[in-house]
A = this chain, B = another copy of it.
Amino acid sequence: MKFNTVTIKDIAKALGLSTSTVSRALRGGYEISEETKKIVLEYAEKINYRPNPIALSLKERRSHSIGVVVSEIANNFFSQAINGVESVAYNRDYHVIITQSHERFDREVMNVEHLASRSVDGLLISLSSESSDISYLKSLHDKGLPMVFFDRITEEIHTHRVIADNLKGSFEATEYLISLGHKRIAHITNASHLSITRERLEGYKAALQRYQLPFNEDYVKHGKSQGIEQEEIDQAIRELFELPEPPEAIFIAQDKLSLFCLMAIKKLAPAHLEDIAIAGFTNANVVDLFSPSITAVRQPAFDMGKTATELLLQLIESKRPVEEFQTKVFNTELIFTNSHRISG
């Protein structure tokens, strides 16, 4: 089971040179005569020599690859962000290794440790909804593994962060629902310790307050930690509509939750389909097709992925320890669809 059978040794032997000369010639070392260089390069080309990256990693302690940890690639936000990551990484000759935590803490730890032990040069992480104790990350970070957090970030580790302006995005969405004349607005969101959950809840509250609407605890539904089951959202919707004063509008704080929520309403509350207003975070690019329609809070996922990667590569390639960290905040966009005008 060996490919890449061709090694530097083979070239050296064939050309009657030493391995070090060959090595230097291949990487264009200036001490090598043009002639030798030429011979070596031509021969290497001829026999299709490829350096063995594993040997390189072992030696150099780096791999020219970065690891990405997200909860679900099936989430539109993440798959778009990953495309942004790749666009930067490939241009700068880094490989991207994608892993999913499926919102589970143990999976996240396992992925991170595997990536670290495989000598990825850095990590791009969006925390799973189960991850509250992140000391395992902290210790890797302390040991010098560069990392950048995006989307679901933590304050506990001092490094670059890339997020959307969750507070503003939520405020605007809620405000929009209020502008439609609704007063009873529910909020469906993630596990409460996630950064995005807190910020989006804050935006929702801020809008209520701004328009002097009361905040009602009963209108807020947190997905359980796993938060990726239709079941859970069905239950939340049921409870909301069983309230003595059911909501007239719903604001949802996350991509998959938004879709589950539309499904749940269609299934469980068809009578309300026409009159309930829905807004929610989602990066689905077929949002125009949805019925019931939803006003989408869209994050610039691609750009966020790009920026996070640029920051990470900056950390990785910096000669001296970086002391100044940035938190880049991206604006969200509120997207109105006219599908309810067409089909409802």
Main SS class of interface, A: mixed
Contact with B along A59-102 (1 / 0, CB 8 A): 00110000000001110100110110010000000011111101
Q: A135 within 8 Å of B by Cβ?
A: no
CB distance from A118 to the nearest CB of B (A): 6
Q: A286 within 8 Å of B by Cβ?
A: yes
Contact: B61 with A58, CB < 8 Å?
no
Copies in the complex: 2
Residues of B within 8 A of A144 (CB): 1-3
Contact with B along A276-313 (1 / 0, CB 8 A): 00000000101011111000000000000000000000
Which residue on chain B has the smallest CB distance to residue A290? B289
Contact with B along A119-150 (1 / 0, CB 8 A): 10100000000000000000010011100000
A184-192, A204-212, A258-266 - the one binding chain B: A258-266
CB contacts under 8 Å to B, within A24-74, are 50, 52-55, 57-58, 61-62, 72-74
A168-176, A195-203, A336-344 - the one binding chain B: A336-344
Instruction: Tell me the bound Cα distance from A102 to B116 in angstroms.
Output: 27
Q: A193 within 8 Å of B by Cβ?
A: no
Q: A179 within 8 Å of B by Cβ?
A: no
Q: A73-B82, A74-B80, A289-B289 are in contact. Are A61 and B2 (CB under 8 A)?
A: yes
Which residue on chain B has the smallest CB distance to residue A146? B1
Instruction: Tell me the bound Cα distance from A267 to B97 in angstroms.
Output: 37
Residues of B within 8 A of A119 (CB): 54
Contact: A339 with B58, CB < 8 Å?
no
Residues of B within 8 A of A53 (CB): 114, 117-118
Of B55, B98, B266, the residue contacting A58 (CB under 8 A) is B55
Instruction: Tell me the bound Cα distance from A256 to B21 in angstroms.
Output: 52
CB distance from A180 to the nearest CB of B (A): 20
Contact: A61 with B1, CB < 8 Å?
yes
Q: A74-B76, A117-B3, A343-B343 are in contact. Are A286 and B259 (CB under 8 A)?
A: yes
Q: A79-B74, A118-B54 are in contact. Are A343 and B3 (CB under 8 A)?
A: no
CB contacts under 8 Å to B, within A247-269, are 259, 262-263, 266-267
Residues of B within 8 A of A143 (CB): 2-3, 5
Give the interface centre of A73, A116, A263, A344 by most chain B CB atoms within 10 Å: A73
Instruction: Tell me the bound Cα distance from A2 to B323 in angstroms.
Output: 19
Which residue on chain B has the smallest CB distance to residue A139? B3
Q: A273 within 8 Å of B by Cβ?
A: yes
Instruction: Tell me the bound Cα distance from A339 to B98 in angstroms.
Output: 36
Q: A181 within 8 Å of B by Cβ?
A: no
Contact: B4 with A117, CB < 8 Å?
yes
Instruction: Tell me the bound Cα distance from A273 to B343 in angstroms.
Output: 9
Q: A16 within 8 Å of B by Cβ?
A: no
Q: A244 within 8 Å of B by Cβ?
A: no
Contact: B100 with A97, CB < 8 Å?
no
Residues of A at the B interface (CB closer than 8 Å) are 1-5, 50, 52-55, 57-58, 61-62, 72-74, 76, 79-80, 82-83, 86, 95-100, 102, 113-114, 116-119, 121, 140, 143-145, 259, 262-263, 266-267, 270, 273, 284, 286, 288-292, 339, 342-344
